[in-house]
Chain A
Amino acid sequence: MIEVAFVGNPNVGKTALINAIAGSDLQVGNWPGVTVEKKEVTFTYEDETLHLVDLPGTYTLSPYTLEEKVTRSNLCAGGFDAIVNVVDTTDLRRNLYLTLELIDLQKPMVIALNMFDEFSKRGYRLDVEKLQEIFGIPCIPTIASKGIGTKTLLGRLYEVYKECQLPHLIPYQEHIEKEIAFLVHKMEGLECQIKRFLAIKLLENDSYAIQRMQELDPAIVDLAHKARERLQRHLRMDVKEFIVQDRYQKIDAILAQVLHKPLVDRVLLTDKIDTIALHRWFGIPLFFIVMFLMFKTTFDGSTPFVDWVGGFFDGFVAPHLRAAMADLPSWLVSLTVDGVVSGVGLVLSFLPLLAFLYFFMALLEESGYMARVSFLLDRVAGILGIKGNAFIALIVGFGCNVPAVYATRTLSSFRERLITALMISFMSCSARLPVYALFTALFFTRHQALIIFSLYLLGILVAFIVGFIANKALPTSQAKPFFMELPTYHMPSARAIWMLMWPKLKDFIVRAGTVIVMASVILWGIINLPPSATPQTSYLAQISKKITPIFKPVGFGEHWEPVAALIPGTLAKEVIIGSLGTIYGVEAAHKPMAKSSILEDLTKELHTLWVATERSAHNLLAIQITSLETEVAPSRIQQRIRQQFTPLSALSYLVFILLYIPCVSTMAAIKNEFGWRWMLFETALLPILAYTVAFVVYHFAALLL
C-alpha cells in the first residue's frame, strides 16, 4: 500500500481536492488522542493500493496550533511514501515556503497548483514547465472545486512513486549548507530518514527537532548548538531569521523566472467585501443580521421536520409497536415504547435542527466569514481569556447547546474550549422558549416580551460571570498570542459543506444518541415504577415530594408537581410542559394502539412529511419568525399553574429552568468532548448556581413588585 500525505497551507482547497479524488469513499475520523479531524481514503490505482491522508493545513513545519502539530509529527514520523503538496497558485510566494521545507524531507513528491482558474483570471501567468525543471518534480494545475486536474495528478503521483523521483534540493546559503552537511555526516549511523530536515531544523533551534535528536543521539544536539553559535557569530544575526530570509530569497529568485504578474493588480472582491463586512460601524450590525438570518432560517426551516419526526414516532412507530407487542407483558411494552423508542425518537427529532444549523456553520466556515467574526469580536473575548472565534460556539448555543459544544473544537487550546463550553449552557436554547412562553403568558401578559428578553440577558450575564471566574481559576497555559489569517472569500461547493456537516451529524447520532437513550430509559423507570404506579404515586412523585421543601426559599417549594416536572425536563426543556400535564393528570397519558395497517399509516406519514417540507419552504420565505409564535397550552394546565404559582414564584421557576441543566444531550456532548469529570462537575455546579440565582432574583424582585 502506498501511503500518500496531502500537505498544504490552510484554505488552499486541499480538502476539496482530496474530495474530488476520493468521491464518496472519503472517511472522516479523528487523529488519535486529539479532536482534530482526519480525512482519508483508500482505493486501488493501477496495480497498487493508494491510501491518501489529508493532513491539517499548515503554513510551515514549525507548528503554531494543535492541528499544525499533527501535520508536522505525522510527516516526520516517516510513515508516508509520497507527498502531494497542494499550493494556492494565487499566493505562490507564501505557499512555496512550505514547499521548500517539504523538499528537505526528500520524499517522492508532486505539487498541485490549485485554484489555477482564479490565478489565470487575475491575469497572472506561470511557466509550469520551468517550475517543474527547477523542482525536478511534476507540477500540475488543478481546480479542486471542479475536479479538474485530479486524473493527471494521480497518474503523476503514481509515476513519481514508482520511479522514486525525489525533488531537487534547493541549496541554502553556503555557510548554512556546510553546517547541514556536517550535521548530516555526524548522523550517518542513525536510524532516521529525514536527516537533512532534522539538521536544518536543529540549526533553526526548533524544539521538536532538538527533542527528537535528544532521543536519537544527544551528542548531535550539542554539535548543532555549537554550529548555531558559529553561524550566529559569522552571520551577525539570528540563525532562524537568516534561514527564513534565505528561503524567501530562493523563492523570489524562482518566481522571477516563472511568474509573470499583470501590470495592474486588480482590487480583489475580498477587499471590497471586507470594507463592508469589517467596517467600523457596519461590521457589527451586519454580523447581527447574519446571525439573525441564520437562526430564522434554522428554526423556521427545521421546525416542521422536527414536528414531523415527533409525530412519526408518537403517531406511527409507537402505536404499531404496541400493536405488534400486544401479547407481551405491559411493562415490557411500556419500557420498549416509552423508554427506548421515545429516546430514539428524541435523538432523531434533533436531527433536522442540527442539520440546518451545521449547514450554516459549514457555509460560514467554508466561505471565510467565520474568520471575520473572530476578528470582529476578539476584543470582547479577550476579557474572558478566549479568542474571537469562541463567540461562534456561544451564538450557536442560542439555537441548541449540543452543536455549540461540538463547535468548540475549532478553538486553539483545551483551556479556551473549556471556558467556552462552561459558558454555553447558559445560552438560552430554543427548547426553553416554549416554557417561558407558557408561564409569561399567564403571569406577565403585558410585559411578556420584556420578561423573556430579560431571561436571555440573564443567561448571557451569568455566562460572562462564569467565563470570567473560569478564566481566573483555570491554570494559565502559556497562551500563544492571537494570530489568524483572513482568507480570501470563496463560494463553497455543496460537497465541501456536506463533508463538514455529515461527520458531525453522524457523531451526534452515534455517541450522544446512546447517552440520550440511556437517560430516557432511566427516566422511564422513575416515572413508571413501582409497578402499576399512577403519576401521583410513582418514584418520580415520591422523590419530588421529598425534595420539594428545598425550593421553599426560592418560591416554588409549596407544591411538588412543578418540581417533579423538572426531572423529565433534563431530557429536553420543552418536555417540562408535557410532564406538567401528565403529572397534574389533566392529560391522561394516552397510549394509542394502531388499528389500521402499517402500509396505510406509512403512506399517511409520507404525506405529512411532504406537507412539512412545504411548510418549511413556506416558512423560509416568510419575514417574521414563524416558529417563535407561542403555542397555546391546554387551558386546564393553565388553571392548575395559576393555582400553584404567583408571578414572583413563576419568575423564579423560569430562572431556575434557564440555568439548572441544559439537557442530557448537551451533557452527553460535554462528556464526549471533555470527559466524565467535567461532565459531572457541570452536573453538580449548574443546579447549585441555578438555585442561587433564582434565590437572588426571587428576593430582589420581591422588593420591586
Chain B
Amino acid sequence: MSRKKLSDLHPGEKGIIKEIGDIGELKNRLMELGALANTPIEVVRVAPFGDPMELEIGNTHIAIRKSEAQKIVVERFKDKR
C-alpha cells in the first residue's frame, strides 16, 4: 500500500481517498458527490492533451484538472483491474 497523489495514478488505476487538500469550493462539491475519505476512486482516463482527468466515484463520472487532483491523496490499490 502506498500513498500517492491522485494525479499520479495511471488510467485504470484505483485508490482509496485519504485526504482532500485545499482546493477551495471544489472540496465540498467532491465530498457531496460521494468522494469522502476512505471511499474508492478510479482514474478512468486522461484527456488527449494531458489534462483534465476523468474520475469515477460510485456510479458518477466527473472531470477535474490535474492541478486539483494533485491535492488529493489516495492509497493506491495494488492490483490493476
Contact = CB atoms under 8 A, between A and B. Distances in A.
A284 B48 CA distance: 7
A241 B36 contact: yes
Contact of B28 (A240, A279, A487): A240
B36 A485 contact: no
Contacts of B28: 62, 240, 244
A483 B63 contact: yes
Contact of A244 (B31, B51, B67): B31
Interface in B29-62: 29-34, 36-37, 45-52, 54, 58-62
Given A480-B24, A480-B26, A483-B26, A379 B47 contact: yes
23 contacts: A59-B29, A59-B33, A94-B60, A97-B33, A244-B36, A248-B34, A248-B36, A278-B47, A281-B48, A283-B47, A374-B63, A376-B48, A376-B49, A378-B47, A378-B52, A382-B65, A388-B52, A478-B24, A481-B67, A482-B64, A483-B62, A483-B64, A484-B63
B25 interface: yes
Interface of A: 59-60, 62, 64, 90-91, 93-94, 97, 240-241, 244-245, 248, 274, 278-281, 283-284, 374-380, 382, 388, 478, 480-487
A495 B29 CA distance: 32
Given A97-B34, A480-B24, 6 more contacts: A91-B60, A244-B31, A248-B34, A281-B48, A480-B25, A482-B63
A426 B46 CA distance: 31
B3 to A, nearest CB: 19
Nearest to A270: B61
B34 A94 contact: yes
Contacts of B34: 93-94, 97, 248
Contact of A379 (B29, B52, B59): B52
B48 to A, nearest CB: 5
A51 B30 CA distance: 34
B13 interface: no
A374 B54 CA distance: 12
A214 B68 CA distance: 32
B63 A486 contact: yes
Contacts of B24: 478, 480-481
Contacts of A279: 48
Contacts of A245: 36-37
A480 B23 CA distance: 9
A17 B26 CA distance: 30
Given A284-B48, A379-B49, A483-B29, A94 B63 contact: no
B23 to A, nearest CB: 6
Contacts of B46: 280
B51 A481 contact: no
Contacts of B68: 481-482
Contacts of A90: 59
B29 A378 contact: no
Contacts of B50: 379
B47 A94 contact: no
Contacts of B63: 374-375, 378, 482-486
A482 B55 CA distance: 13
Contacts of A284: 48
Contacts of B32: 59-60, 62, 97, 244
Most buried by B among A97, A283, A481: A481
Interface residues of B, number: 32
B26 to A, nearest CB: 4
A278 B45 contact: yes
A-B CB proximity, top 3 nearest: A379-B49, A486-B61, A481-B26
A93 B49 contact: no
Contacts of B23: 481
Contacts of A382: 51, 65
B62 A379 contact: no
Given A94-B33, A244-B32, A248-B36, A376 B60 contact: no
Contacts of B58: 91, 93-94
Contacts of A376: 47-49
Contacts of A248: 34, 36
A269 B49 CA distance: 24
Contacts of A378: 47, 51-52, 63, 65
A317 to B, nearest CB: 50
Nearest to A287: B48
B52 A375 contact: yes
Contacts of B45: 274, 278, 280
A427 B30 CA distance: 36
A91 B57 CA distance: 11
Contacts of B60: 91, 94, 485
A95 B33 CA distance: 9
Nearest to A61: B32
A91 B58 CA distance: 9
B51 A379 contact: yes
A130 to B, nearest CB: 21
B59 A94 contact: yes
A376 B45 CA distance: 11
A387 to B, nearest CB: 9
B24 to A, nearest CB: 6
Nearest to B29: A64
Contacts of B65: 378, 382, 481-482
B27 to A, nearest CB: 9
Nearest to B38: A245
A378 B25 CA distance: 20
Contacts of A478: 24
Nearest to A284: B48
A283 to B, nearest CB: 5
A245 B64 CA distance: 21
B43 to A, nearest CB: 13
Nearest to B50: A379
Contacts of B26: 480-481, 483
Nearest to B35: A244
Contacts of A93: 34, 58-59
Given A90-B59, A483-B64, A380 B49 contact: yes
Nearest to B45: A278
A374 to B, nearest CB: 8
A486 B30 CA distance: 14
A551 B24 CA distance: 52
A59 B68 CA distance: 20
Contacts of A388: 52
Nearest to A487: B61
A376 B29 CA distance: 22
Contact of B48 (A91, A97, A283, A374): A283
Contacts of A283: 47-48
A480 B68 CA distance: 11
A378 B47 CA distance: 9
A244 B31 CA distance: 7
